[in-house]
Amino acid sequence: MTATQLKSDIESLMRKLFLTFIVLTFAHIVFAQTKQTIVVRPETAREKEERKMNDVVETFQMLGGLQKEANAYNLNRVKNSKYSLYIEERLENWKKKGEFEKTADWQKRLNDSTAIKKAEIYESAVYDYARDLNVLERYHNLNNLFYEKYNGQYDADKEVLVVNTFWGKIPIPIPLDEAKNMNNIESVYDLNAHFFIQNDRLALLSLTFPCKGKNYTWENPSQAAQIFRNKRLELEQLERNKRLELERKQERLDSLELATYNQRLDSIFKDYNRQLLQNPYNLTKSVLTDYSKITLNKSIETKFNNRVSSMKSEFENLNNDFSRKYENAYRKYGNLFANKDEFDSFYRRDAISEEEIITRKFKRFANLITNMNLRNTFEDYTRSRVLITPSPPYKDLLTEAIENPNDPYFSLGTVQIIKDYKQANTSYYDKLIDVLVDTNKELNGLWKTDGMFFKNKVDFFEAYITKDYSKIVKANKKTLKSK
């Protein structure tokens, strides 16, 4: 459906709604007058007032029904609209032959540049598309038809404000300490939205909740969104390079004053990068990539101050980003370390690998079930036939178990975790069993006694959880003696 067709459909619907309103209002008036003619006695002042109030209520109810119908139509229109059709329509004007354009030049332009122009429009028209669909009230403010205004829900466990939107439930991260100081945190309003195109439809790239002068932002974690972000950064870098190239062409190398200011800028630039590289949390060795030199003699000092201010802002943003990544990592993995100093030591050495996290989770998990009789637990699991699944926001079951050891399904979840690692056929299964056997008191005691009769700890564990453990041990003893 093209934008023209959408506009035509909207106008048609609004005309129908308006005519319906006129007809219903007229019918209502006639009916009210008819009711009046059959009254056998004059209305009292109170009856007349009540009739007027009823008329007003009925009119508002009718208008409310029309508004709901219009809202439903608008939501359905956004759901079914296709960006590709919108782009094709935008391209039509460009494809038209110019009044003074030769036919040969026109055809050559279409053959050589249509794909390039289409790609250019595709990249630049996303927000025009969102505005044409009435998804945005102002430039970036989300129309409240697309989210439940004043109806957010704060999840203290996950430290997120969940907002129900047209695109699903969006968890906006807000630290618990800051959420406590917010009045009416669940009264969501003035959400700031950014979009990209996914599967030819308008999709959320990010959603920001402004509160008390600070912005709290959810970033779409999908691969498609990340690809879009990377592409946008590349385009921004290209634009920056173009600007730098133009500025360099205008440089007046013979100006001593200009050269002095640019030398000072360069010195500040290098000093900021030196500080960034000395930041212990700058694991990726990120630095300021470039800065714009002053190219004209007019208002040199003002230009210099503007450049320094811009450079300082980028420097502070990078430092804040390092701290944010550190705090996010600590919030996610800090409970796997003895204290923050230990975590800090690993983080600074960039040593928090998947292997390290899994190993620490296994140890933490094993300590939680030190006294558990795993054989009985496996039997309970088999009888229960309960499927244990992780809860939002999509944590793995091992993390879920560690964080919620008092959950009534904890023991059944323990079995599910072991089964999942075995089914995944990874080296982690062997490691998990190794840690369990060393930590669980009953397992460890049996292993010290019977371990010699098994190939390894996995072989021992899988025999242990069966009802035939004693028989297996006897059979293995016989086999060893016969050799």
Residue for token pair 């399904």: 409
What is the reported pLDDT for 254?
Answer: 47
Buried b (16+ CB within 10 A) or exposed e, 49-59: eeeeeeeeeee
Cis peptide bond N-terminal to 393, omega within 30: yes
What is the reported pLDDT for 253?
Answer: 45
For the ranges 25-34, 117-126, 161-170, 319-328, the lowest mean pLDDT is seen at 25-34
- Dihedral of the CA atoms 10, 15, 18, 24 (nearest 10)? -120
Give the model's confidence band at 102: pLDDT under 50 very low, under 70 low, under 90 confident, else very high: very high
Give the model's confidence band at 40: pLDDT under 50 very low, under 70 low, under 90 confident, else very high: low
DSSP 106-134: HHHHHHHHHHHHHHHHHHH-HHHHHHHTT
Tens of pLDDT, residues 362-375 = 999 999 999 999 99
- Identify which of 84, 186, 195 has the alpha carbon closest to the alpha carbon of residue 135: 195
> Is residue 62 pLDDT above 70, yes or no?
no
What is the reported pLDDT for 39?
Answer: 47
Say whether pTM exceeds 0.95: no
- Identify which of 238, 235, 237, 206 has the alpha carbon closest to the alpha carbon of residue 222: 206
Give the model's confidence band at 260: pLDDT under 50 very low, under 70 low, under 90 confident, else very high: confident
Interval 388-403 mean pLDDT: 77
What is the reported pLDDT for 302?
Answer: 83
Give 55-104 as a 3 state SS string: HHHHHHHHHHHHHHHHHHHHHHHHHHCCHHHHHHHHHHHHHCCCCCCCHH
Interval 141-170 mean pLDDT: 89
Interval 244-258 mean pLDDT: 65
What is the reported pLDDT for 37?
Answer: 47
Q: Compute φ and ψ for 208, nearest 5 degrees.
A: -115, 135
Q: What's the CA gap between 443 and 446, in Å, rounded? A: 5
Percent of the chain's residues with pLDDT above 70: 83
> Is residue 245 pLDDT above 60, yes or no?
yes
Residues β-bridged to residue 230: none
What is the reported pLDDT for 43?
Answer: 73
Residues β-bridged to residue 201: 198
Which position has the higher pLDDT, 168 or 235? 168
Which position has the higher pLDDT, 111 or 232? 111
- Identify which of 250, 253, 262, 254 has the alpha carbon closest to the alpha carbon of residue 296: 250
What is the reported pLDDT for 3?
Answer: 54
Interval 64-88 mean pLDDT: 77
In a 3-state reduction of DSSP, which class is residue 153? strand
> Is residue 210 pLDDT above 70, yes or no?
yes
End-to-end CA separation in angstroms for the chain: 79
Where along the chain do its domains lie?
A: 3-126, 135-227, 251-349, 354-482
Mark out the alpha helices in 251-299 (DSSP H runs).
256-278
For the ranges 136-150, 246-260, 303-317, 437-451, the lowest mean pLDDT is seen at 246-260
Instruction: Give how far Cα 264 sits from Cα of 267, 294, 299, 442, Å.
Output: 5, 11, 16, 70
Residues β-bridged to residue 169: 164
